Each structure stands twice: as structure tokens, then as C-alpha cells.
Amino acid sequence: MLYLHSFEIMKILVPISNVPDTTSKISFTDNDTRFNGQGITWIVNPYDEWYALVRALELKESGKADKVTIIHVGLSDSEPTIRKGLALGADDAVRINAESSDSLYVAYQIADYAKNNSYELILTGKESIQYNGSAVGSMIAALLDYPFLSQASFLDLNGTTLTLHVETEGGIKVVEGQAPAVVSCAKGMAEQRIPNMRGIMAARTKPLQTLDPKPFRQNVKVRNFGLNPGRSECKLFTEDQLDKLVEALHKEAKVI
């Protein structure tokens, strides 16, 4: 039996978050209610860039997807980060002009855009490296009533059929199914890419649309931030004092 391809367009939506570079010095301002962005280099959240976005681009390059769109919920100061994503090869980008500490608010904006613009495959990162929530992807899926595939390390696409490896306790699950779906992407999905000059030039003129957020309640607010105290002085032992180290691990640290 011969199946006729439905000629539907496979568009991939990649939500990216804008995060401080890992090596940034962290401090807070406004009575410890805001992250101090002074002197900080902002980057595309590594999981979103290396895994979700690069995999989406690979699928497009191999003819398995037609279009890759970046979406970000944030204020205008994150536009340079969005352009970095465009420089890697995404076709266009959307910024929802809002700031929020409530993941459900962020997810609602993305889900709403995906629904109104018929995106049936959404690739997020597994978590954003600043607030470590691992939340937005699962929420987008729930709001759209799409299946959520959490922490995928492999994704292939054949028409609208997805094959995935997802992380599970002490192993991986091989999962297969039909789009629509939301996938959160983890290590293994793709390799990091460096944008080339042509990409960087082209990114300047690619469409970056700004939209106002849809009204939605926000129930999560930051009360305050703080730095965790570093570890106290490291206690050093020589290789002839390892009995003492074992004793300390038992009596002091109480870990053995």
C-alpha cells in the first residue's frame, strides 16, 4: 500500500532562554530582588542552543523539517541573544515582550503562540542554567495537551513520526510516536556549533517579531535572592594520614 505524503509543513519552534555565561560572577541588586546584570555576558541557554536549536537545524538541513523559529519571552535587552540563535541558522524569531519569574506565565505565552501559528513540534532545553527549573517544556505540553518527552538525548523525524531516546532512571527509553509533541533536549542530541561570519551577517536582517504578552495571572514572585556560603576551608591530608581522612568522613562529615 502506498501512502501519500500529506505535504504538511513541519515547522519547529525552539523556545530559548537568555542566561548569564557560566563563568559569570553572581550578585544581586535592588535589595537582593534582582540579578545584577552589570558586566555580564549573556548567552543562549546552552541546552537550548546546542541541543534543541542545533538538532532542529540539522532536521531542517536534512529535509525533514521545513522551518525553524526561535521564541523568547523577555525584554528587549535579550535581543542580542536571540540574534545569536538566528546566526546559527534559525529562519526567524519571535520575542514576547514580558518579564516573569513565573514559569507557567512564560509557558502560557509560548503555548499560545504555538497554537495560533500551528507549530506541532516544540524543542526546549532540559533546563535553564540560571534558575534550574526544568519546568517550561512540561507546562507548554500540558497547556496544549501534547505529549511531553522529557530529557531526550536523541531525536529523529520521519514525516510526522518521531523516534526518541529519553532519560530514565539508570537507563534510556526508546520512544516512538506522532507529532504533535514537546521535547526537552539534553546531552547527546547534537554537537555544539559555532556561527560563521555569513550566519552572523544574515542574522542581522532576519525577521525578529515583537509581540505583546497575552494577559495571564502570575502566582510566583521572587521574595529575595542570596549567595550560598562557599565551602569552609578545605582540610588537607597527606597520603600517610588517610586513616584520619576516613575518621573525619565518619565523625565530622557523617557520610560513611
Partner 1 sequence: MSVLVLLDLKNGQLKKSSMELATLGRNISEKTGLPLTGAFFSETGPEANIFSGTGITKITRIIGLDSLKSPDFLLLHALNEFIQKNGVKIVLFSFDNLGKSLAPGLAAKMDAAFASGISQVEEISGNTWVVKKNIFSGKAFARYELQGEKIVISLIPNSIEPITVNSTAELSEFQPSPKVCGFQIKEIKKLSEGNMVPLPEAERVVSGGRGLKGPENWYLVEELAKELNATTACSRPVADMHWRPHHEHVGQTGITIRPNLYIAIGISGAIQHLAGVNGSKTIVVINNDKEAPFFKSADYGVVGDAFTVVPKFIDAIRKWKAQHQ
Task: Between 10 and 136, name the residue whose CB sits nearer to ligand AMP.
Answer: 136
- Where in 26-45 is the site for ligand AMP (CB under 6 A)? 45
Decide: helix, strand or coil at residue 186.
coil
**76 phi/psi in degrees, rounded to 5:** -60, -25
Please list, residue by residue across 183-207, b when 16 or more beta carbons sit within 10 angstroms of its beta carbon and e when fewer do.
Answer: bbbbebbbeebebeeebeeebeebe
Q: Taking CB positions, which residue lies at the least distance from ligand AMP?
A: 125
**Alpha carbons 118 and 237: distance in angstroms, whole number:** 62
Cα–Cα distances in Å, from 133 out to 77, 189, 190?
A: 22, 20, 22
Question: Which of these ranges, 14-22, 27-35, 145-153, 218-226, lies near ligand AMP under the rule CB under 6 A?
Answer: 14-22
DSSP secondary structure of 15-63: E--EEE-TTPPP-EETTTTEE--TTPPEEE-HIIIIIIIHHHHHHHHTT
In the complex, least distance from residue 130 CB atom to partner 1, rounded to whole angstroms: 6
Site string for partner 1, 112-141 (x = CB under 8 A): -----------------xxxxxxxxxxx-x
State yes or no: residue 243 binds partner 1 (CB under 8 A): yes
> Which of 12, 103, 148, 157: binder of ligand AMP (CB under 6 A)?
103
> Which of 60, 90, 119, 124: binder of ligand AMP (CB under 6 A)?
124
Residues touching partner 1: how many (CB under 8 A)?
Answer: 78
Task: Between 212 and 239, name the residue whose CB sits nearer to partner 1.
Answer: 239
Site string for partner 1, 82-111 (x = CB under 8 A): -------------------xxxx--x----
**Alpha carbons 64 and 7: distance in angstroms, whole number:** 12
**Alpha carbons 181 and 28: distance in angstroms, whole number:** 37
In the complex, least distance from residue 206 CB atom to partner 1, rounded to whole angstroms: 27
**Alpha carbons 25 and 20: distance in angstroms, whole number:** 9
List residues near ligand AMP by CB under 6 A: 15-17, 45, 47-48, 71-74, 103, 106, 124-125, 127-128, 131, 133-137
